[in-house]
Structure 1
Amino acid sequence: MKILTRSLLSAAVSTVVAFSASSAASADEASPFFSDSSISGSVNFFLRDRDRAGTDANGKDTSKTSNLDHGSAFANLSFQSGYINNFVGLDAMVYATYDMWQDASADHEMNFWNIDNPYDKKPEDDKCTNIWTDCNANGVSLGTAALKFQLGESSTAKLGYFQPSVPSTLGVNWSFAPGTYRGGEIGTSISGLSLGLVVADQYKAPWYKDDYEFRTTLNKDAGEVYSTGARYTLENGLAIDVGYGALTDGDRKNAHIKLKGESAGGLNWSPQLYVTRDDEQYDSTAFQLALLTSMSSGQYSYRAEATYTSAESKVKGVSENFTYRLTKQFGGSNGAYDIWWNNRSDFNHDEELAFFLSASRDFSDIDAPGFSAGISGAYGFGSKATGYDDLKEYAYSLFANYSIQNGALKGATIGLHFTQYFNDTDAPAWNGYTNLFQDETDFKLILSMPFSIKE
């Protein structure tokens, strides 16, 4: 697959060169590559202070200590070309990160974690004495470098280092940059129906400089990932999204079904089913049911969501957690997963029932354009692990955002987000419950400044 990918990429690059050369005598043919292109980017600052409690021998919480404490700078530059002869173009993006300070855990995801990959976690150089505390690296990495193709009126394709954009079960991890697959995709749209196929042989989360292979739950070579998907929108606006994905040399598979619609009163609703099959991790097929709703009324916006998870562990007495991606290892890949509560926990343990509520207000009607603020909360219960209290976890968050309206920084945004998370079990972090940690307080400050060089 690696040889095939490189061969196809080389052939595609040759195609671009050939088209450019053949059009040299006619500027009108070649000019759309540059005249229809755009160059943009952003400069961002991310400050975070997260404290986490531990547990003593009796299962009681200890005082909180610093878990994350860093200030990170990020910049990216993106080029999106037009199409040569309405056929082939190029998308490219590079990004750089820098830690202004880092005084706690090294794996904070907003700079490069200076290890080889998320599976082996071997330091990249001898300056890293402990991968969990001092193993950061400033630097530059490639986020996108993909040839793009227009195949007639309704079909497209990509080849290279890219982010999936056609229907599939594949998604990417995010920092200020997206994760990157190496491979290709093809998609087509016909009368409200969109179809997609994605194939990739490597991936990298944005906090790694280099891409790496896919591995199974038991850390064996998983070959490539492939995924197909379809979306269909009816005339009444009701949309259905289905997808299926798998590994070529591994057991793991995933699939989803999502319905999305809007009621006459403006209520957006979406029942969803996510499924993961992995005989190396789960004792039976794992799934998560979700209901997502949202609506706006005047200056106010509301969300109400709920999930139920079934993720039976291979290990007796352990409460496993559900992950919607084609690798168990976090950072090894990601899935097309719509649920994001931003209340620290994933609320995704076996037999856990969880609820989420959020309300926010836009203050533009009282002479504060660009300013909004809100509150959210989540609560989960129902999971059990042998030897520990039954799971009960909950959190609340306060958040505010301001978009600068005038001056040199017009368009820049400032965001504040504070979360207090509570775990009422007596289980130590990651024990009994595989995706559970102790009480936390978490503060984030984000300044994002987008810019455009050419539109």
Structure 2
Amino acid sequence: MTDGDKYKTNLSHATWNANLDFQSGYAADMFGLDIAAFTAIEMAENGDSGHPNEIAFSKKNKGYDEDYSGDKSGISLYKAAAKFKYGPVWARAGYIQPTGQTLLAPHWSFMPGTYQGAEAGASFDYGDAGALSFSYMWTNEYKAPWHTEMDKFYQADKKTNVDYLHSIGAKYDFKNDLVLEAAFGQSEGYVDQYFAKASYKFDLGGNPFTTSYQFYGARDKVDDRSVNDIYDGTAWLQALTFGYKVAEVVDLRLEGTWVKADGQQGYFLQRMTPTYASSNGRLDIWWDNRSDFNANGEKGGFLRRDV
């Protein structure tokens, strides 16, 4: 980064990370337990790196207490979950990471962020007719991987409590290279979110051509022009993606996004709580899913050629 016409240090650090992950089998082929923790040890850091580098731990243990004052060493229990399966049905509860079709997702550092809550789903295979999978998740606390303690959810003012987030989603694979997905999510009394995606693959010149259309929508329930009133009407991000592989030698990708986010916030967020690292949401456009700057009216493009 620069200060006027001079370069300044942004990130300059050395950090050790280690992870211990235990995953049990299933007793009676139904019940199990997963436990995991990781550590970060700060070996060196430049004094000008006065913000969480997101590889070590922030000096502030909770997300809503963040003051960007730097990093520290520590340890985090990021997974402690009871798990269950029976036929096509599965469930997990405790400290978990979402794995189903919902709109909830963790942040990633060396390891993922953690939700306190429960998730359940099922998968059904109908042979040539296709396969259906769906899931539901409920959560009341979250911690990003650079925070060591869980925090509750709040609206944009960081004071008005949001008791829980929840989401439901489904995916249908027609087994003819067409896949449809849809999901809905809510932060209690605050933001509704919507998602739809259609993906299709076909042969072009004897090589696979893939394409998708994606829609992400969000609408808040506050209409008083306060800081919590983040959108005017429904905000959305739409995306089109194309991919073409030539003889497993050349991989071409062309992707684009378009944003509408009228309102005081001025940009679209895929998560249901506005504060950074307070929760996270699904966004399948990988080159864009770390951004909090999908500004109203913004159009983005991505072109890549791998040989």
> Structure 2 length as normaliser, TM-score?
0.88
Q: Which residue of the partner structure matches residue 136 of structure 1?
A: 71
- AA of the residue aligned to 2:116: R
- AA of the residue aligned to 2:286: W
Indicate yes or no: 2:245 matched with 1:296.
yes
Give 1 or 2: higher strand fraction: 2
> Identity across aligned pairs (percent)?
33
Q: Which residue of the partner structure matches residue 185 of structure 1?
A: 119
> In the aligned structure 2, how far is the partner of 1:81 from the partner of 1:154?
19
- AA of the residue aligned to 2:260: S
Q: Which residue of the partner structure matches residue 263 of structure 2?
A: 313
Indicate yes or no: 2:183 matched with 1:243.
yes
Indicate yes or no: 2:12 matched with 1:69.
yes
> In the aligned structure 1, how far is the partner of 2:62 from the partner of 2:118?
22
> In the aligned structure 2, how far is the partner of 1:155 from the partner of 1:344?
32
C-alpha RMSD over aligned residues: 1.9
After TM superposition, the structure 1 = structure 2 runs for residues 20-39 of structure 1, keeping only pairs within 5 Å, are: none
> In the aligned structure 2, how far is the partner of 1:344 from the partner of 1:62?
27
Q: Which residue of the partner structure matches residue 287 of structure 1?
A: 236
Indicate yes or no: 2:216 matched with 1:269.
no
- AA of the residue aligned to 2:281: G
8 A contact 1:69–1:105 mirrored in 2? no
- AA of the residue aligned to 1:282: Y
2:154 to 207, 212, 215: 215
Tell me by how many angstroms 1:337 deviates.
1.2
- AA of the residue aligned to 2:133: S
Q: Which residue of the partner structure matches residue 334 of structure 1?
A: 280
8 A contact 2:268–2:292 mirrored in 1? no
8 A contact 2:283–2:289 mirrored in 1? no
> Structure 1 length as normaliser, TM-score?
0.61
SS in 2 for 1:119: helix
Q: Which residue of the partner structure matches residue 114 of structure 1?
A: 59
1:322 to 237, 243, 268: 268
SS in 2 for 1:267: strand
Q: Which residue of the partner structure matches residue 165 of structure 1?
A: 99
Tell me by how many angstroms 1:159 deviates.
0.8
> In the aligned structure 2, how far is the partner of 1:264 from the partner of 1:83?
42
SS in 2 for 1:100: strand
Give 1 or 2: higher helix fraction: 1
8 A contact 2:178–2:199 mirrored in 1? yes
Q: How many residues end up aligned between the 2 structures?
A: 288
Q: Which ranges in structure 2 are unaligned for 5 or more consecutive residues? A: 126-130, 223-228
Tell me by how many angstroms 1:344 deviates.
8.1
> In the aligned structure 2, how far is the partner of 1:344 from the partner of 1:247?
20
Offset from partner CA, 1:31-55 (integer Å, 9 cap, x none)? xxxxxxxxxxxxxxxxxxxxx135x
Q: Which residue of the partner structure matches residue 31 of structure 2?
A: 88
CA distance 1:342–1:328, change in 2 (3 Å): closer
SS in 1 for 2:278: coil
CA distance 1:81–1:170, change in 2 (3 Å): same
- AA of the residue aligned to 1:174: W
> In the aligned structure 2, how far is the partner of 1:79 from the partner of 1:301?
37
8 A contact 2:103–2:281 mirrored in 1? yes
1:226 to 163, 166, 177: 166
> In the aligned structure 2, how far is the partner of 1:105 from the partner of 1:359?
37
- AA of the residue aligned to 2:167: S
After TM superposition, the structure 1 = structure 2 runs for residues 197-216 of structure 1, keeping only pairs within 5 Å, are: 197-216=136-155
Tell me by how many angstroms 1:300 deviates.
2.8
